[in-house]
Amino acid sequence: MEQIGVVDADSHVMEVPETWQYLEEEYLHRRPVIARLSESLPIVAGMDQLWFIDGRVTPRPMGRGATISGTPTGMTFARKKVFSAGSQGLTDVEARLRDLDAWGIEIQVLFSSIFIQDTTDDPRFEAALMRSYNTWMAKRCAERPDRLKWAAAIPLRDIPSAVAEVHRARALGAVGVTIGGTAGTRLLHHRELDPFYAAVSEEDLPLCVHCSWSLPGLTEVSEDLYSADMLGFTLPVLMGFHSLVGCGVLDRFPKLRVGFVEAGSEWIA
C-alpha cells in the first residue's frame, strides 16, 4: 500500500505583485501596490513595507485596528525568515519544494495571507482581488500539483460572486475553500449565505474556516499587535464554530465538510 508522508494542512503563501496580474480591466487602476515606510517613521515588528489598497494600508502594524502579516515579502519581517522570498511568495516554486524536503513535508496545502484581514470596503473589488489571487495560485501550484495544493479565497460579502467562485475554484483545481469566522458583520449561520453552502456541498469541497480579522468591530477595538492577535484574529473562528455547529448550518447541509484552521485548539476537523 502506498504511504503518504507528512501533509502540512495549513501553510501560507505571501502575496506578491504578480498576484494581481489577473485583475479584470475595470479594476487594474486599483490594483494593490507596495508602500515603503521611511526609516524616519516608527517601524513595528519589521513591517516596513505594506500593501496600499483603496487608500489604506494592509497590514496595519500600529494603532486602532492593528493587524499582522508577512506580505509583501520585501518587508524586514519577511526577509528575516529562514525561507527565501521566492519560497514565501511562490515566485520560485523549486525553492518552496526544497524547503518542504528540508522539513520532511510531502504535501502542503496553501492559504492566503492578505485575505485574513479586510483589504477594501468594496465587496465587488474584494471579489475581483480574490479571483485574481485564485487564478494566480492555480497557476503556481500547477507547476507541482503533486505536492502543492491550495484553498481558494471566497468573497463572502458578495454572495453571487462567492457562489460563482466556488464553482470556478473547483475547475481551477482548488482542494478547498477558505473563509473567515464571519461574513463581515454577518454571522455564518445567516440564511443569506445558504446559496454559498449549497455550492460548496455540490462541489464537495472542504470548507476551511480560518482565523482572521473578519469582524470589523472586533478588529477595531485592538490598538496593539498583542490584542490584535489574541482577540481580533482568534475570536472570529470561535464565532464560526458557533454558527456552523450550533446554529443549524450542518443540519441544512448535511454533506458539508468543515474544518476550523489555525485556532487555539489546533486543526479541529
**Which position has the higher pLDDT, 150 or 3?**
150
Please compute the mean of the pLDDT values over residues 109-114 and round it to a whole number: 97
For residue 157, the Cα-to-chain-centroid distance in whole angstroms is 15
**What is the 8-class DSSP label of residue 74?**
T
Please give the grid coordinates belonging to residue 133.
489571487
Query: Hey, what domains does the chain have and what are their CATH numbers?
Result: 9-261 (3.20.20.140)
Neighbours of 57 (CB within 10 A): 15
Find out whether 241 and 211 touch, Cβ atoms under 8 Å: no
Q: Is 73 helix (H, G, I), strand (E, B) or coil?
A: coil
Q: Is the pTM of this model over 0.85?
A: yes
Q: Between the CA of residue 46 and those of 58, 127, 179, 183, 225, what are the distances in Å?
A: 14, 29, 27, 30, 13
Q: Is the confidence at residue 28, as pLDDT, over 90? A: yes
pLDDT given for residue 1 in this prediction: 54
Q: Is the confidence at residue 164, as pLDDT, over 50? A: yes
Q: How confident is the model at residue 135 (pLDDT cuts 50, 70, 90)?
A: very high
Is-cis flag, bond preceding 72, omega within 30?
yes
Q: How confident is the model at residue 44 (pLDDT cuts 50, 70, 90)?
A: confident
pLDDT given for residue 72 in this prediction: 96
Percent of all residues in the chain with a pLDDT value above 90, rounded to a whole number: 85
pLDDT given for residue 39 in this prediction: 78
Q: How confident is the model at residue 266 (pLDDT cuts 50, 70, 90)?
A: very low
Q: Between the CA of residue 218 and those of 92, 155, 181, 185, what are the distances in Å?
A: 36, 19, 12, 10
pLDDT given for residue 62 in this prediction: 86
Please give the grid coordinates belonging to residue 200.
460548496
- Which parts of 7-153 fold into alpha helices (H)? 76-79, 85-88, 93-102, 123-141
**Per-residue pLDDT tens digits for 47-89:** 999 999 999 999 998 889 999 999 999 999 999 999 999 999 9
**Per-residue pLDDT tens digits for 208-236:** 999 999 999 999 998 888 999 889 999 99
Percent of all residues in the chain with a pLDDT value above 70, rounded to a whole number: 96
Question: What per-residue string of b and e applies to 126-152 under the rule 16 or more CB within 10 Å gives b?
Answer: bbbbbbbbbbbbbebbeeeeebbbbbb
Query: What is the dihedral sign for C-alpha 157, 159, 160, 166?
Result: positive
Q: Is the confidence at residue 106, as pLDDT, over 90? A: yes
Please give the grid coordinates belonging to residue 216.
470589523
Q: Is the confidence at residue 268, as pLDDT, over 70? A: no
Q: Is the confidence at residue 113, as pLDDT, over 60? A: yes
DSSP letters spanning 187-235: ETT-GGGHHHHHHHHHHT--EEEE--B--HHHHHT--SHHHIIIIIITH
Q: How confident is the model at residue 269 (pLDDT cuts 50, 70, 90)?
A: very low
